[in-house]
Amino acid sequence: MAKYIAVDLGASNGRVIVGDLSGFEVMNRFVTRNEMLLRESHWDITFIFAEIKKGIKEAFHRYGGEIVSIGVDSWGVDYGLLDEHGSLITLPYHYRDSRTDGMVETVCAKLGQQALFERTGLAFQPFNTLYQLAAMQKYRPSTLAVARQYLSIPDLINYWLTGVMVNEISHASTTQLFNPKTKDWDWETIDGMHFSRGMFGTLVESGTIVGRLHPQVAQELHADPDVVVVAGGTHDTASAVAAVPAKAGEDFLYISSGTWSLLGVESEQPILTPAALESGFTNEVAVNGNIRFLKNIMGMWIQQECVRHWESKGEHIDWKDLDEQTIACSSYSGYIDPDDQRFLKPNSPQSLMVDRVAQNCRDLGLPVPTSHGEYMVAIYRGLAKAYAKAIDHLGTITGKTYSSLHIIGGGCKNEILDQWAADETGLTVYAGPVEATALGNMLVQGVATKGIGSLQRGRDLIIGHQKVKQFDPA
């Protein structure tokens, strides 16, 4: 069977994986490093690219002629800007950078919130590309003036691998500069913001072959020069949803669980109703051209920042022990509201995540956690309640009812949260596959290179080969 290289970049770590839908190996695992430079947070994209190349080189060393293609996916909204020579102008900003504070209000005052939602279908999150570029327009106008090409993070990696610039549609749909009805850039928003039209290049569908490896890159990596790079579901959630182990005809409900919890359904058309806007749902493009109608719920990020703080104080956190402490504290009645924007920012000397969790419990009139286990209970129970609330809103908006929930991605390994999600929602939860994003990445590559007959055929292969665990409501 043909093998595919999936470069899967998450907001905390990246992996270069080689294999197929029946199994795979990690060639390189690395931190997706970001740095604070004079109070600005940037991705160390040259380090990330070097680690990607290291993994690809190892894959070709081990599997050589079996590899037919490479695909890259990453978190949404972030980007690189290139000058007229195709050179990167500045390190890409991290989506949690504080320069976008207040930009949602500024842009909505200029363009109108309702009109903007009706055109773009995106929820109003401060990290959307629209607000990042608006911040650059305000604070770094001379830098923006030099820009000749916008490329998302995976589009940028694809360009460095092939020398070809394209904008893949699933990632473009996270920018709030894209129209899900026309499947084109939203020129009215771009013109209204006085961004240069020329910066936004050719859009291609998921599964488009970008090109072969650039000869110099192929030589450096000891790679077969005939291997192609596929612009698959370059947004990691698009790739993850492609791998949901759903049967043909199933109207499935999913959560892509990781740093974020992305909860939603597939829809043939964007849903642009006032109820969708009010409930915070968003319309992004799926790998099959449908719409991923979903809500961004703060996920394991809150847990991760608490653990990072405890470890920074010299504590050793064993995850198995932490789970046991969580279960032992399950009678604790507190919980958080993960939709509270206070949880977006990382730890800082002025504001620690543990303090924000405690304060959120106080604000809700609930007991404040006093131990590691109680903090985890507050986070997991809060997430489970947020899932139930979002699913209720989803049913109201779509007019549909759901009997089960697929939780995919790294967060599905948290069996406490899987069970509590089943309990709060009243739905049967199917947890897995864990590596949904990489599997979806490979699935789209397989369809593009004719090794897999269709998206559903790929899902059937995943059902047959990947582990999924069932959790029934208590």
Residue 290 belongs to some domain of the structure: yes
Rounded to an integer, what distance in angstroms lies between the CA atom of residue 38 and that of residue 453? 50
Boundary (domain end) residue, out of 182, 216, 236: 236
pLDDT at 147 over 80: yes
Q: Calculate mean pLDDT across residues 202-207.
A: 97
pLDDT > 70 in the chain, percent:
100
**CA 393 to CA 346: how far, in whole Å?**
29
Instruction: Identify whether residues 217 and 287 lie together within a single domain.
Output: no
Task: Mark whether 103 and 191 lie in a shared domain.
Answer: yes
283 part of a folded domain: yes
User: Taking residues 409-435, what's their average pLDDT?
Assistant: 97
Among residues 184, 207, 236, the one where a domain terminates is 236
Pairing of strands 291-298, 281-285: antiparallel
459 assigned to some structural domain: no
Q: Which of 133, 126, 154 is nearest to 237 (CA)?
A: 154
| Strands in 76-202 per DSSP E | 79-82, 149-152, 167-168, 178-179, 184-185
Report how far Cα 340 is from the mean position of its chain's Cα atoms: 19
The pLDDT mean for the chain works out to 97
Say yes or no to pLDDT of 415 above 90.
yes
Place of tokens 């995540």: 353
My answer on whether 77 and 14 are in the same domain is yes
Q: Say yes or no: 213 and 273 in one domain.
A: no
Q: Is residue 284 part of a domain?
A: yes
Residues 182 and 128 in one domain: yes
Which is nearest to 376 in space by CA: 299, 322, 415?
322
The pLDDT tens digits for 10-35 are: 998 999 999 999 999 999 999 999 99
Residues 270 and 299 in one domain: yes
State residue 256's pLDDT score. Answer: 97
From the list 187, 204, 190, 198, the residue with the least C-alpha distance to 82 is 198
Catalytic residues: 236
Q: What is the CA angle 267-230-4, rounded to 5? A: 105
> Do both 385 and 416 map to the same domain?
yes
78 domain-assigned? yes
Label residue 1 by pLDDT band (50, 70, 90): confident
d(CA 436, CA 239): 7
Q: What is the pLDDT of residues 40-62, one digit of tens each?
A: 999 999 999 999 999 999 999 99
Asked if the structure places residue 441 within a domain, the reply is no
How sure is the predictor about 87, in pLDDT bands with cuts at 50, 70 and 90?
very high
Alpha-carbon distances, residue 72 vs 52, 210, 232, 382 (angstroms): 10, 11, 7, 33
> Whole-model pTM?
0.96
CATH label of the domain that carries residue 315? 3.30.420.40
Q: Which residue has the tokens 């773009």?
A: 120
Q: How many whole angstroms from its chain centre is CA 124? A: 16
pLDDT in tens, 108-127: 999 999 999 999 999 999 99
pLDDT at 395 over 80: yes
The verdict on residue 460 lying in a domain is no
Q: What is the 3-state secondary structure (H, E, C) of 428-450?
A: EEEECCCCHHHHHHHHHHHHHCC
Structural domains of the chain, count: 2
Q: 39 and 141: one domain?
A: yes
> Are 228 and 286 within one domain?
no
Instruction: Give residue 251's domain range.
Output: 246-432
The answer to whether residues 187 and 317 belong to one domain is: no
Looking at the structure, tell me whether residues 263 and 217 fall in a common domain. no
In a domain, 451, yes or no: no
d(CA 386, CA 257): 13
149 and 298 both lie in a single domain: no
**Run of H or E including 23:** strand 23-31
